Structure 1
Amino acid sequence: MRKLIAITFSFLILAVFMGCGPTNHNEKDAENKLTPTSGDKFYGGVFRVNESEYIKNLYPLSIIDIYSYRIASQIYEGLFKFDQKTLQVVPSLVDSYAKSDDQLVYTFKLKDNVYFHDDKCFENGKGRKLSAQDVVYNFNLICTYNRNNQYAHLFTDIVKGAVEYYDATKENLSFVRTPEGLEGVAGFKVIDALTLEITLLKPNSMFLYNLARPGSFIFPREAVESYGEDMRTKCVGTGPFQIASVDEDISINLSKNENYHGVDEFGNKLPFLKAISVSFIKDKKIEFLEFKKGELDMMYRIPTEDIIDVLTESDETNENFKYHLQRIPEMSTQFLAMNNQGKVFQDINIRKAFSFAIDRQRILEYILNGEGYMEGYHGITPPVFKNYDIEQITGYKMNIDSAKYYLAKAGYPDGKGFPKVTLDLNTEGEQYSNVALEVKKQLKDKLNVNVELKISPFAQIAEKSIMGRYDFLRLAWIADYPSPENYLWAYYGKTLPENPEEKSWPNLIRYSNPKFDVEYEKALASIDQNQAMVHFMNAEKILMADAPFIVLWYDEGYRLIQRHVEDFPNNPMQYRDFSTVYFDKTH
């Protein structure tokens, strides 16, 4: 993930939404009609946003990409979520919680006013009240073996009895079909209708973060029984928005959840927006034109060639500025993954040769036109976390002599006899393809190595990465929670499947080093956050010494929003909470 956010609804006005046919002026005026409320805020309006790749899966236990996450997080909620301004973990479905002195037993009291979305999976189509039993049902499901479950690691080896339960369900799949016949994970206990208790095996510094991640989003048993694998797009949660319509590869439309439990500091019932319309235009130039015409309320990532113009048109020192530019270093790292168990890149010498051959400065300055925070000279973790100085991590800078030395050591002097490798990538505008072309050129010029480029939709890239069916892969890791651990958990060796033909998530590069695992486990067991950071740093140093991937650059996010958009702060994680966003067209 990771990364990895989302948006969903259910309403009737199809013509209102982008991608659903032409809209006349009267309809558009109606949809954008705003009603004032307390705190000088306004109800109403349809927020239009574009994603350059279509979603893969909105079922919480299957979310592995940022496009799905950005939509799903508007539909579903966990016990906790992130504050959009500070990225601190804050209560969401939880009213209060406490933990024992030994840090092992957590007691959670749920809010008394949370209801699932109205949906036909319920009797009479009316969403029922959330209970502690729903949470325990979901958490047991996380600990259940299933090919669509990518989040068992949230609780296995952390919660009492989770591993035993997971292993039992793996041996007997009938457990999945008859969950009421099981006592469930020993560490999950319902105390009363609104109270549950979770017992850990040992203290875990990341536990509350885990409860805010997409795998911990809560949904009702009725939805699972009614929709099964169709929960990919048939979503029933408790969030501020719900699915209204889905047009595969074209648009997803979300409508306001009229029964949402949230209120703002003025007592206004949330959300303010009437709906969210998500389009999937793949060409960033077309998306930019739509934004400039006012057909989109936000644009994330700008065509490289337009950056200079954007800086001028968004200059707020000029009273005629057109839109707001939100610019911030991100919790996002762009890198090239190498299959560490593949026939080519299982050799550390080849991985090091490729790592030393890449001119990251040229890529950032000339190919990206400076649209990035800094070159990837250190580890996989970007330079955005306090008390975590990535400059202590030795990565790789271009060194042609070293690159040639390691390639010769691998048995390919001057690239002679080196097999052709394929670099798989998805498109997000022309940025990634331009970078891939430059990488191909550099490897040919410096190592006499041939790289074939293959561009595919993101869904295919995701499937290849999980199954290990690739040599070389362009990826970005975008945090779904604010901690260096979010970058390092993907390389924990104990998440690797015993059978190399099985899916591997999150360890997509199939990396394993017991020394790394030891430091990573020490970090998780640390009660003191500063001590945890020391062990994470030690683990990342071990990781980078093995050159398991090529870090290219650390991102800086360019996000444009129209002048009428309010209460939509940017953050390094690109975590988006539309529940408090509103339109103010009085200026």
Structure 2
Amino acid sequence: MMKKRILVATIAALAATGAQAADMNKVLRVAFNVPETGFDPAKVSDTYSGAILENVFDPLVTYDYLARPAKVIPNTTVALPTVSADGKVYTFKLKPGIYFAPDAAFKGQKRELTAADYAYSIKRHLDPTINSPWSFLVDGRFAGVDALVKAAGKGALNYDTQVEGIRVLDKYTLQLTLNEGNYNFLQILAMPAFGAVAREAIEAYASNTNAKPVGTGPYTLKEWKPGNKIILEANPNFRKLVINGQTLPKVGRVEVSIIEEEQPLWLAFVNQQLDISGIPQAALQEALVIDPKNPLNVKLQDKYAKQGIQLERKKDLEITYQFFNMQDPVVGGDAKEKIALRRAIAMAFPRNETIAAIRRGQAVPVHYVIPEGVAGHNPAFKGAVKYDPAAANALLDRFGYKVGADGLRTQPDGKPLSIEMATGTSGIDKQWNEYWQKAFDSLKIRLTFKYGKWNELNKANRQNKLQMWGLAWGADYPDGENFMQLLYGKNAGDANSANFKNAEYDRLFEASLQLPDGAERNKLYDAMNKIVVAQQPWIFGDTRIRSSLAHRYVKNFKLHPLLNTTWRYIDLQK
């Protein structure tokens, strides 16, 4: 325990030093099972791209690697910010001597990180020409910024205009003034999306900022073959993290392969072509001894335990869901027959069966928009509909979805009824599709699939081109706000993939922003969840229990509830 306390204290007091650099002979090999979309913090929001952002860019604050529950600590600042008595004014003091990775955009000069870089980076999320998926986190938050955005219209933001809410007091001092106090503000600033970019680099690579990330983080992007491979190398300008006398990062190179199919991914780990890996769903029974009476009680199979393979498990702070596009003329809208259609589809899907068969019992059902472990969750609320295909068919009959001569239902106005669901192309996607096909067949509704890579479907989703699709949302910060905003009307087209717009929901959400975590706010969350249940913009899915493995030679391996990766803390001793 004493050693752990020392380690935690040392992480919390990260020191700048010129100690030994990362060992370029140490190569950490990992994999994503979904393609990334790019590496501009203001333009991407998927987990896989975020894992790279987390290692290339530096937010003002971050999370202690070991502290549980998660604890915000200084990152590029000398301390946590000073905060005014009303909770609106945050003043950050940056550490001098932090430098961006070498890049041609700096014309041979060593470029120091300054307060102006953070001001510029935050403003980029408000730029109408960027259309940041994270704009909802900053839109309307900062004093005087609304006028700046309004002046831009549909054009580029004037970054040189001084505003009260985002002020550079001197080279190393940034002051942020909020319109209203926010109890999650530091956790929001710890997200990879708010890592500092350099204006020179953004302007130099304006034609494709997603391909040329330049930051102050522990790694730089050495190579990128989209959807195939990502290679990071240690940033030679990175301020070193010193923990128990050791300088981090230890690993000089991180190689990320994109392996979408489950069997090749599992074989790559077993054959030591990957050093760290999650356990694909198809390999869960091979890798784990699962207690049939309690599927969440697991241990490693003996053959892997004897190899010294390490097992780490955590219940994700996430929800999965299938959304309906609420602006779609067939499945959207708030008319009673449209709600009945969505409700019937939800009632026909055997969620418990997919948890048992596909997840191998390594998940729990979702009943509330906010998952367990996140402030605001209500374990007593049971929002998911009951599986009942017979009642679902009766509901469709009642609201005029008649069965035609071809054995398929029509819409109440007699037009053909056909629904398109977006899906990936992997083997596991095919398993899910079989269950969805059976569900629609049981309702006598024609179902077609729109196939595509995840990044392609994500682009189509943001363009409002998908009728139904399944997504997961993990906690960017551990508060209910982060999940309830998924159905906030102003976020339609961004985080609100369902394009759900309900005036009462929006009113309650805006009221909840003024309250701290507690009983009063929880009442608002319950009321919002009741609206979701009544309108059925989603079909609730599950929350996964993740099992991750590392080979015996991987040191310092530990999962974090909020950090995407732990690469900077890993050492390899083969």
**TM-score of the two chains, using structure 1 as the length reference:** 0.85
Q: Structure 1's 442 and 409: CA in aligned 2 closer, same or farther, altered over 3 A?
A: same
Counterpart for residue 384 of structure 1: 373
Q: Note the 1:77-226 alignment, pairs <5 A.
A: 77-85=58-66, 86=68, 87-96=70-79, 97-124=81-108, 126-171=109-154, 173=155, 175-176=156-157, 179-180=159-160, 182-183=161-162, 185-226=163-204
Q: How many residues are treated as equivalent by the alignment? A: 529
Q: What is the identity, as a one-letter code, of the residue corresponding to 2:114? A: S
SS at match of 2:513: helix
Counterpart for residue 442 of structure 1: 439
Question: Aligned to 1:521, which of 507, 510, 520?
Answer: 510
Q: Distance in 2 between matches of 1:244 and 1:476?
A: 29
Question: Offset at 1:316?
Answer: 7.5
2:364–2:542 contact (8 Å) kept in structure 1: yes
Question: Structure 1 stretches (4+) deviating beyond 4 angstroms?
Answer: 41-44, 315-319, 528-531
Q: What is the identity, as a one-letter code, of the residue corresponding to 1:513? A: N
Question: Offset at 1:330?
Answer: 0.8
Q: Is 1:307 matched with 2:284?
A: yes
Q: Note the 1:493-532 alignment, pairs <5 A.
A: 493-496=489-492, 504-528=493-517, 531-532=520-521
Question: Aligned to 1:425, which of 390, 414, 423?
Answer: 423
Q: Structure 1's 491 and 238: CA in aligned 2 closer, same or farther, altered over 3 A?
A: same
Q: Is 1:350 matched with 2:347?
A: no
Q: Distance in 1 between matches of 2:227 and 2:208?
A: 16
SS at match of 2:93: strand
Question: Offset at 1:322?
Answer: 4.4
Counterpart for residue 334 of structure 1: 320
SS at match of 1:121: helix
- 1:543-564 per-position Cα deviation (integer Å, ceiling 9, x unaligned): 2332111112221112121111
SS at match of 1:391: coil
Question: Offset at 1:458?
Answer: 1.0
1:330–1:574 contact (8 Å) kept in structure 2: no
Question: Offset at 1:342?
Answer: 0.4
Q: Structure 1's 157 and 386: CA in aligned 2 closer, same or farther, altered over 3 A?
A: closer
Counterpart for residue 69 of structure 1: 50
- Percentage identity across aligned positions? 24
Question: Offset at 1:317?
Answer: 11
Q: What is the identity, as a one-letter code, of the residue corresponding to 1:70? A: A
Counterpart for residue 23 of structure 1: none
SS at match of 2:449: strand
- Unaligned regions of 5+ residues in structure 1, if any? 1-36, 497-503
Q: Distance in 1 between matches of 2:230 and 2:131?
A: 22
- 1:385-413 per-position Cα deviation (integer Å, ceiling 9, x unaligned): 36623332422121234422432344204
Counterpart for residue 48 of structure 1: 29
Question: Offset at 1:573?
Answer: 4.3
Comparing 264-273 with 110-119, greater Cα deviation is found at 264-273
2:124–2:130 contact (8 Å) kept in structure 1: no
Q: Distance in 2 between matches of 1:147 and 1:478?
A: 24
- RMSD (Å), alpha carbons: 2.4
Comparing 200-209 with 537-546, greater Cα deviation is found at 537-546
1:356–1:396 contact (8 Å) kept in structure 2: yes
Q: Distance in 2 between matches of 1:48 and 1:583?
A: 11
Q: Structure 1's 88 and 546: CA in aligned 2 closer, same or farther, altered over 3 A?
A: farther
SS at match of 2:263: helix
Counterpart for residue 363 of structure 2: 373
2:287–2:304 contact (8 Å) kept in structure 1: no
2:352–2:365 contact (8 Å) kept in structure 1: yes
- 1:85-125 per-position Cα deviation (integer Å, ceiling 9, x unaligned): 4333322222221111111111111122311111111021x
1:260–1:271 contact (8 Å) kept in structure 2: no
Q: Is 1:458 matched with 2:454?
A: yes
Counterpart for residue 363 of structure 1: 354
2:323–2:498 contact (8 Å) kept in structure 1: yes
SS at match of 1:63: coil
Q: Distance in 2 between matches of 1:424 and 1:318?
A: 37
Q: Distance in 2 between matches of 1:529 and 1:258?
A: 46
